[in-house]
Amino acid sequence: MPRPSTALLTDRYELTMLQAALADGTARRRCVFEVFSRRLPPGRRYGVVAGTGRVLEALADFRFGEEELSFLSRHGVVDTDTLRWLEGYRFGGSITGYPEGETFLPGSPVMVVEGTFAEALLLETLVLSVLNYDSAVASAASRMTSAAVDRPCLEMGSRRAHELAAVAAARAAVVAGFAGTSNLEAGRRYGLRTIGTAAHSYTLLHDDERAAFRAQVAAQGVGTTLLVDTYDVPQGVRNAVEVAGPGLGAVRLDSGDLTQLAQEVREQLDALGATGTRIVVSSDLDEFAIAALAVAPVDSYGVGTSVVTGSGAPTCGMVYKLVAREGADGSLLPVAKASAKKGSVGGRKTAARRLDGEGRAVEEVVVTGRDEAVATWSPHDPALRPLLVPLVTDGAVDPRWTGESGVQTAVERHRRSRAELPRGARRLSHGDPAIPTVTLRLE
């Protein structure tokens, strides 16, 4: 069964612009579009690129079939000549970008799309909708895993998001260091570890808490996690250990003063001989709550609403701007938007990160200038780490960045990228971006 087309996951004005450009002959001009964020959300020191693999997977299905063309025709979106052009649409250009999992700063050229105006224009809405959401989730998730230090974070936010966004959020959270997700579709699609045992409704279903715990242990084994705060927490802990024995895998706390409760429950578990039983906490956690729990005897964190909504920053504010177009002589000319507070910098760009002698990042270096020089630039300075990699070449997607292997590559990329940021980058307080951005101009 063919996968559904992604071609109509776009805005109408992309197609009306296409029609006009086809009519006046400019649609075939070679162009360069750039994705970047003008600023980070308040309080953020860095962002995390996520969703790149999903963009590339969606690109393979960006086709205008009979159903899509019929819809456009019935509603008079574009004319017959444009429909005919769309029927044969295949992106044949090239895309470079920051690898998924890489950290970014304001002005970082996180993705560069090159092709004719017509073929590159049509990707704008799809690229932005994926990157803005996934990167927002990953940026929030990175703050959470940073605050958790070595304690695992588990994604449990499916019920707080659109059903398809929940899958994307689970993937993005894992890219930024989460150890697993409750979402089974994300587990199936991307090979993620799935987690989850029982909710309060399961306990309430039974005649008493002990009966619920006995049934759960019988079904899942003593390594399961028992939710002990449906009624009275101390009694719940006693019931859990009496039913499962001292080898009980974990107990979960989902309400109350988690710092105090965790301390009391740890002491109670130890007194009952369940010294190896872990404590999992949930209940509207975000990066600030996780940081506050650092002193508590907690073993892992279950995070829901905050991670799937970007913890107060549900978008990264990324934009997709035309920065160069073909001139009369065939060369690429820089173009820029000059609107107040919404300006752009013309010309093709690439980027590198400058590292000090200890391998810590000290600058984000954005390279611009003469097009041919930027397109072929490679740093000779060993302190500069190049940031952009090929993602699509002449329409062919590099498979390294997609599927299950792409997620694992992104996980490792984020681990290394975040580790090289200055130590102050992990502070949750308001402040400047982790490192300054400077411009290197090539002539």
CA-nearest of 38, 106, 125, 22 to 337 is 38
Query: What are the start and end residues of each CATH 3.20.20.70 domain in the chain?
Result: 197-298
- Residue 218's Cβ-count burial label (10 Å; 0-12, 13-18, 19+) is exposed
For residue 114, CA distances in Å to 120, 155, 274 come to: 7, 36, 60
Mean pLDDT for each consecutive 10-residue tract of the chain (443 residues)? Answer: 88 98 97 97 95 97 97 98 97 98 98 98 98 98 97 97 97 98 98 97 98 98 98 98 98 97 98 98 96 97 98 96 95 88 89 97 96 93 97 97 97 98 91 95 90
User: How far is the C-alpha of 103 from the C-alpha of 426, rounded, in Å?
Assistant: 12
**CB 365, CB 440: distance < 8 Å:** yes
Cα 413 to chain centroid distance, Å, stands at: 13
Q: Give the pLDDT score at 340.
A: 76
Q: Give the pLDDT score at 196.
A: 96
- The domain defined by 197-298 carries CATH number 3.40.640.10: no
User: How far is the C-alpha of 171 from the C-alpha of 155, rounded, in Å?
Assistant: 9
Kindly give the pairing relationship between strand 180-181 and strand 225-227.
unpaired
* Fold classified for 12-138+313-442: nicotinate phosphoribosyltransferase (3.20.140)
Q: Give the pLDDT score at 423.
A: 87
Cβ within 8 Å of residue 50, ≥6 positions away? 100, 101, 131, 134, 135, 137, 138, 139, 171, 172, 175, 176, 410
User: How far is the C-alpha of 145 from the C-alpha of 153, rounded, in Å?
Assistant: 6
**CB 433, CB 41: distance < 8 Å:** no
Cβ within 8 Å of residue 329, ≥6 positions away? none
Q: Give the pLDDT score at 344.
A: 85
**CB 39, CB 127: distance < 8 Å:** no
Query: What are the start and end residues of each CATH 3.20.140.10 domain in the chain?
Result: 12-138+313-442
Cα 78 to chain centroid distance, Å, stands at: 34
- Residue 88's Cβ-count burial label (10 Å; 0-12, 13-18, 19+) is exposed
User: How far is the C-alpha of 149 from the C-alpha of 301, rounded, in Å?
Assistant: 11
Phi, psi of 90 (to 5 degrees): -145, 130
**CB 135, CB 172: distance < 8 Å:** yes
Q: Give the pLDDT score at 105.
A: 98
Place of tokens 């750039």: 34
For residue 323, CA distances in Å to 17, 234, 291, 360, 436 come to: 17, 63, 41, 31, 22
Q: Give the pLDDT score at 1.
A: 56
- Three-state DSSP string of the chain: CCCCCCCCCCCHHHHHHHHHHHHHCHHHCEEEEEEEECCCCCCCCCEECCCHHHHHHHHHCCCCCHHHHHHHHHCCCCCHHHHHHHHCCCCCCEEEECCCCCEECCCCCCEEEEEEHHHHHCCHHHHHHHHHHHHHHHHHHHHHHHHHCCCCEEECCHHHCCHHHHHHHHHHHHHCCCCEECCHHHHHHHCCCECCCCCHHHHHHCCCHHHHHHHHHHHHCCCCEEECCCCCHHHHHHHHHHHHCCCCCEEEECCCCHHHHHHHHHHHHHHCCCCCCEEEECCCCCHHHHHHHHHCCCCEEEECHHHHCCCCCCCCCEEEEEEEEECCCCCEEECCCCCCCCCCCCCCCEEEEEECCCCCEEEEEEEEECHHHHHCCCCCCCCEEECCEEEEECCEECHHHCHHHHHHHHHHHHHHHHHCCCHHHHCCCCCCCCCCEEEEEEC
